[in-house]
Amino acid sequence: MEPTIGDRGEYVIENTLSYKLHPDSIARGDLVTLRSPLDPFRIVCKRVIGLAGDVICVDPTGQMAPSIEHVIVPKGHVWLCGDNAAMSRDSRQYGPVSIALIQGKLMARVSMPIQLPNFSRSTNQPLQVWPLTKLKIFSNPTTFLD
């Protein structure tokens, strides 16, 4: 699976305010930003796979753990997975993640159509994010089966 966020000319729109006001608004399938459980100076982006009380298969691919191994996500925690599972460090390595580490939810991705030469914040040049065909709104593709 390809990464959701690229590394060149892509920017994200993050909603931190409404998450701080309604921290219970996190749902399965949401893209969230959080302080890395492995390095508190890094901010990472992961997809929420499980909420408190969910029974989760640790690694459905069987590459990092037997595909028959399951865990119950504890209260106050979520289970996270990177979209590029083959290259991702996520809950398969560090287990359930405290919701206290979550900082916000990603709402959209914007690709820059033109790379501005010698771009500097001090030049007061506005960022160009047009055309809007380069705008990707993140929707929650997850369905939950009882």
| 29-80 pLDDT, tens digit each | 888 989 998 888 998 889 999 999 999 988 877 777 777 888 999 999 999 9
- What residue spans of the chain are helical by DSSP H? 17-21, 91-94
Which CATH code for domain 10-114?
A: 2.10.109.10
Q: What distance in Å separates the CA atoms of residue 90 and residue 81, rounded to the nearest whole number?
A: 5
Classify residue 34 as exposed, middle or buried by CB count within 10 Å of its CB (0-12, 13-18, 19+). buried
pLDDT at residue number 112: 60
The chain-wide mean pLDDT, for the chain, equals 76
> How far is residue 64's CA from residue 47's CA, in Å, rounded to a whole number?
18
